[in-house]
Amino acid sequence: MDAQAVESQALSAIEAAATVDEVEEARVRFLGRKAELPQALRAVRDRETGMTLNALRRRIAESADAREEELGRAELDRRLREERVDVTLPGDELPVGHLHPITQVRRMVEDAFLGLGYEIRDDREVETVAYNFDKLAFEPTHAARSPRDTFFLDETRVLRTETSASQIHQLEEREPPVYMVSIGRVYRRDAITATRYPIFHQFEGLAVDRGITLADLKGTLRHVMRALYGPKRAVRFRTHYFPFTEPSIEPDVSCGVCGGEGCRTCKYSGWIEMGGAGMVDPRVFENVGLDPEAWSGFAFGCGLERTAQLRHDIPDIRALWEGDLRVLRQF
């Protein structure tokens, strides 16, 4: 190999390179694994020749590095000169998120009850059978006690089926009068439909004082329903049965999707059930050590998802859980 000729050719090619890519091509051409110089180095058998060829390889590499740095500085100068940015121009507006419809409704519920003087309470989601069923006067044969309806973690613990257990916690912790609302997630083995989902949020209210009547309950619920849906939405109450209230009622709100005419969302009835309510059963008072002759109260429970569905006339409750931004951005 003619070392002087190789050096001359390499330095000429590097000096003639007009871009960083061309410098890299020259580097590979003269210093790559298959180039003449590296091949000669692998065949070296004496010290003097090795030192000469290594020095040659070093000079070519240094020349390539210097040319690459020179071209890089030139490119940077060009970009600084030609690609000017007016820093006084307004930047691109970044998209800003907003509260989920369920969170929006939750805050509306909280505001409505705080305005009535109620306390907001947040309790555990894993509950004991005693607090979820026994102390709320659920009969041993009640369907909710079945694993087909409730998520049991073991024989004594469940994922709470409603926030009603907060009533017991509150009454055990504090003497009446009590006015509180418990809000949070609950779990049931429900089939997924247009109005039901196995995971949902519930707000559970409790008022215990002297002389409370069913009229107080109906007035409270009407006030909250008007705050959530406006004065034009019709509200009705139907008698019903719940283990922990006696007498019991169910509040319904007219379906806004069909205007009360009947559709798939309201099961063609024109009404959508909001939850359950009623006067606190005397057995519940006895379970927490209160005299049912001295105290009276009412309790109610409604779903936040169903509230959001009714407020915004959403035909299918599943849209609130799917996370589709095309839906959520509308609220």
In the predicted structure, residue 194 carries a pLDDT above the cut 80: no
The amino acid at residue 18 is A
Quickly state the pLDDT bin for 92 (edges 50, 70, 90). confident
- Rounded to whole angstroms, how far apart are CA atoms 13 and 23? 8
pLDDT at 259: 76
- Tokens of residue 141, six digits: 């044969």
Domains and CATH numbers, the chain: 3-82 (no CATH), 103-328 (3.30.930.10)
Lowest model confidence (mean pLDDT) among 29-33, 71-75, 184-188, 193-197: 193-197
Percent over 70 (pLDDT), the chain: 100
Burial category of 2 from C-beta neighbours within 10 Å (exposed 0-12, middle 13-18, buried 19 and up): exposed
- Rounded to whole angstroms, how far apart are CA atoms 201 and 309? 13
pLDDT at 124: 93
Q: pLDDT averaged over the chain?
A: 89
What's the average model confidence in pLDDT over 289-303?
A: 93
List Cα–Cα distances, 312 to 13, 240, 266, in angstroms: 72, 27, 14
pLDDT at 108: 93
Residues 111-162 have pLDDT tens digits of 999 999 999 999 999 999 999 999 998 988 888 899 999 999 999 999 999 9
The residue to which tokens 């030139």 are assigned: 74
The amino acid at residue 303 is G
Give the closest residue to 242 by CA, choosing from 210, 204, 216, 193.
204
The amino acid at residue 173 is E
- Tokens of residue 167, six digits: 């009533």
